[in-house]
Amino acid sequence: MQPIPQTENQVMRKEPTLGLGQFIRSLTAIIWKDMAAELRSRELLSAMLVFALLVILIFNFSLELDAQARTTVTSGVLWATFAFAGTLGLNRSMAMEKDRGCLDGLLLAPVDRSAIYFGKAIGNLIFMLIVEAIVLPVYSVLYSVNLFKPGLLLVILLGSIGYVAVGTLLSTMAVQTRTRDVLLPILLFPLVIPVLIAAVKGSTGFLQGAASEDILPWINLLIVYDVIFVAAAFMVFDYIVEE
Amino acid sequence: MITVRKLVKRFGLKTVLRGLDFSVEPGEFVALLGPNGAGKTTFLRILASLSRPTMGNVNIAGYALPGQAAAVRRRLGVVSHLPLLYGDLTAEENLRFYARLYNISHAQTRISEVLDLVGLVSRRRDLVRTFSRGMQQRLAIGRAVLHDPEVMLFDEPHTGLDQDACLMLDTVLREVAARGRTVVMTSHDLARVADLASRFDVLSRGVITASIKRSQVEPNNLLAFYRQALAEA
């Protein structure tokens, strides 16, 4: 590498660029690390899952619903469950990085910091989708509602992406404060209201067999939200993690 | 190797570093001494590219911070009082993870070398959360030297270690420094650094107030030098 003289006793060098290969290698390393650690401890998934199942059971016992009402409230109950369980997972996932200084370990590595964000976000999304995949059949049995409709599954995927995109960014901010457990839901829920509204409306549409022109605006809103917040997180993550 | 000019760091209204000047030659082992709240950790976090300077120039191995942070990080190994390791991964898995982040070729060979250096070959498949504090700190040093950095930063690495663990850590630190690396280490323990460092700088109230080479001071006079530097600050 050719040094570029700056002053008498100081030389400046050109910074080598970080390639796409290194970006993908770092991203997959972070996802692998989260999966391997969770496979051992099962702390995050078990907490999310137990919490989600408890919420569903409480709703089941507290709301005595007829068949028609069940279809109406299903999407609301489901998304409230996913949102609460998701917050638990987001907090735990980032706390794992902070507690032993591992977040600093990631930030010290010569990788694009957006790779750290996307690695953590994809890991969180996988955990959330696993919980959802277990909650859906349990809910179907308890409430006698068929939830295995491709349209509904698409809404759940899009809603989860939006939720995790914002949640991962905000949990990175919240984890640096002493009140992280309280702060994350306070910051997160107002921001994900558009996702929750669109996801509930879209889910209800698919469950009640509404016309596609009634559902499509909600799907479009979810897609736009996902794109905007993933792009925003990509741009601001570097500033959020630096003091 | 490290050049810092007129470094200022403010957190809101509080100024922690006040126009600090500092330089380290290649291969030097500098002990950064100072009382609590002097700004040692803040300074080290800026050198480590974890914190942005408010003002001033920082240059490490020919790269400027914060603009060329990725290039600096590639040449930097950092050990703090936290291990920066995942408790639910084994020693080997932790090193493999960092090897992928640092894009280390022949990672398995390098991991074996590093585990040998820090004396943890026999525990390579054990979960880090089962390690004692001393073993975790040795593995943390292994993690920091994995990519063979030119510059090492140690932030009070002896914190929380018992006497035996401190002695073992000193052996590893000597080994790390003996390979020609440039080392900056913060510490409160003057007796400990007296044996390790080749230069002693005192940081007080956000500036370097005194600096002396080991050849210029007897180990048992280091405390007197330190107290005088603080008194004159």
Rg (CA), chain B: 18
Asked whether residue B215 is domain-assigned, the answer is yes
Count of pairs with CB atoms under 8 A, one residue in A, one in B: 106
Domain ranges of chain A: 19-34+42-241
Asked whether residue B14 is domain-assigned, the answer is yes
Asked whether residue B16 is domain-assigned, the answer is yes
Cis, peptide link before residue B66, omega less than 30° from 0: yes
Alpha-carbon dihedral sign for residues B193, B194, B196, B197: positive
pLDDT the model gives residue B220: 81
Structure tokens at A241: 């993690």
Asked whether residue B54 is domain-assigned, the answer is yes
Q: How many CA atoms lie within 13 A of B65 on its CB side?
A: 30
Range of the domain at B22: 1-75+180-233
Q: Count other Cβ atoms within 10 Å, centred on residue A127.
A: 24
**Residue A154: C-alpha distances to residues A129, A191, B149, B164 (Å):** 12, 21, 47, 58
In angstroms, the separation between the Cα of residue A103 and the nearest Cα of chain B is 8
pLDDT the model gives residue A33: 94
Characterize the bridge pairing of strands B14-24 and B182-187. unpaired
d(CA B30, CA B166): 18
* Helix ranges, B13-130 (H): 40-47, 69-74, 91-101, 107-117
Give the SS3 label for residue B180: coil
pLDDT the model gives residue A16: 52
Give the SS3 label for residue A8: coil
Of A13, A102, A108, Cβ closest to residue B78: A108
Cβ contacts of A111 within 8 Å, gap of 6 or more: A18, A22, A23, A26, B70, B101
Asked whether residue B143 is domain-assigned, the answer is no
Asked whether residue B170 is domain-assigned, the answer is no
Q: Please list every residue in chain A whose beta carbon sits closer than 8 Å to the beta carbon of residue B63.
A: 12-13, 15
In angstroms, the separation between the Cα of residue A183 and the nearest Cα of chain B is 21
d(CA A138, CA A26): 36
Listed by number, the residues of chain A in 188-207 with a beta carbon closer than 8 Å to a beta carbon of chain B are none
Query: B160-166: long-range contacts (C-beta < 8 A, 24 or more apart)?
Result: B160/B81, B160/B133, B161/B133, B161/B134, B161/B137, B162/B133, B162/B134, B164/B134, B165/B132, B165/B133, B165/B134, B165/B137, B166/B134, B166/B192
Structure tokens at A65: 């619903």
pLDDT the model gives residue A3: 37
Question: Is there a contact between A116 and A105 (Cβ–Cβ < 8 Å)?
Answer: no
d(CA B225, CA B212): 9
In angstroms, the separation between the Cα of residue B56 and the nearest Cα of chain A is 15
Q: Within chain B, which residues score under 50 in pLDDT? A: none
pLDDT the model gives residue A243: 64
pLDDT the model gives residue A29: 95
**Residue-wise burial string across B131-149, b where 16 or more C-beta atoms lie within 10 A, e elsewhere:** beebbbbbbbbbbbbbbeb
Number of compact structural domains in chain B: 1
CATH number, domain of B4, equals 3.40.50.300
B-side interface with A, Cβ within 8 Å? 3, 11, 45, 48-52, 59, 61-64, 66-68, 70-71, 73-74, 76, 78, 80, 82-89, 93, 97-98, 100-103, 127, 143
What residue type is B81 in one-letter code?
A: H
**Torsion angles phi and psi, residue B60, rounded to 5:** -125, 125
In angstroms, the separation between the Cα of residue B203 and the nearest Cα of chain A is 21
**DSSP type of residue A187:** H
Q: Please list every residue in chain A whose beta carbon sits closer than 8 Å to the beta carbon of residue B160.
A: none
Q: Within chain A, which residues score under 70 in pLDDT? A: 1-18, 243
